[in-house]
Structure 1
Amino acid sequence: MDSSQTPPAGGAASPFRRPPRPAAARPSAPAPASVGPAFGPIPAEPSPAPAFRANPLGSLVDATAAAGLERRRRSGALWFYWIAGLSLVNSVAALLGQSWRFILGLGITRLADSLAAHSGHGYAVVAVVDAAVIGGFALLGRFAARGRLWAFVAGAVFYALDGLLFIGKADWWIAIGFHLFVLVMIARGFDAARRLA
């Protein structure tokens, strides 16, 4: 049924049919091109081509690389927490009279603990010194985890100087080897934090 026909006698027109066109709007012959603007939809403007074509995988590669750098930065920062935690365990063990120690702990806390144990007094002072040094390393870990470059540098310098305290001790090469390993891991974290900054 043509949309220009009248609806059947008993029913109404379907709402899905096109309304009838007025008789004056029907063209009888095609109009010449010079008559004027044509009616109808306005053609869309052509979109300008981008100056460069972006690699569709480029953002995925960038996101993957950034995630890898973030993991390395966080891993380097977590070493400060390991140092602080194991130094705390070493200090508590020394203050309780135990002879075993973790190799990863700080030499400065070991030195202070052994001086207090040999002198027989000064445990309160040693506990305050240990708490300050251990808390400082934990704080450096917190700032390093947030990507602060100065925290990586300061922590690495302090830990390198701390490693020098082991020279001349029994099995000093094991302690220095672990210090060097941890310094390499901190340096990797620093490099990742520098690239992310």
Structure 2
Amino acid sequence: MLSKANGALRALEVKECAITCIGLVISTFGDNLAAELPSCLPVLVDRMGNEITRLTAVKALAVIAVSQLHIDLSCVLEHVLTELTAFLRKANRALRQATLGTLNSLIVAYGDKIGGSSYEVIIVELSTLISDSDLHMTALALELCCTLMADKRSIPNVGLAIRNKVLPQALALIKSPLLQGQAFVVLTVLLWIF
């Protein structure tokens, strides 16, 4: 019984290492792999659908998003955004944290290629994460809002969506005696951007 569990654990480690490796390969050599990307990227996105490999795939996408090569993700970008937005509703805290970081990286790198409706859905989900019950998650959500606001000239109606959905949560957070640290700093920046 124990050997079966060890075997399953090793298989999971191999899968996670393979996903991490493909993320690094694409982020490092993606310019030379342009012809293979339309077949490689959907496999990586498919790993996001598996509960066991989901977190590793999200982290691999973050590595690709911050690549200096500006890898062409157009064949999977909308699907990735849809999946990531859904992950913000999951109970897995580590997944939500990685998702917020990956979304931030994708918006910085590919903001001009993302449709306005995707932003509105992301902003709605962000508003649900802003509370004094988890200040670290709140800080990450507010950082993403700051990223969106910093690029609001190229994103239609993002300021209005953040004002309608996020600002009420942010104003409620200001009243909390628990507000401190990074959440306080990022909230200050967001209010200054407004």
Larger relative contact order (CA 8 Å, sep ≥ 6): 1
Q: Same fold (TM over 0.5)?
A: no
Give the TM-score range, shorter chain. Answer: under 0.3
Q: Which has the larger radius of gyration?
A: 1
Question: What is the TM-score of this pair, normalised by structure 1?
Answer: 0.23
* Higher helix proportion (structure 1 or 2): 2
TM-score, L = length of structure 2: 0.23
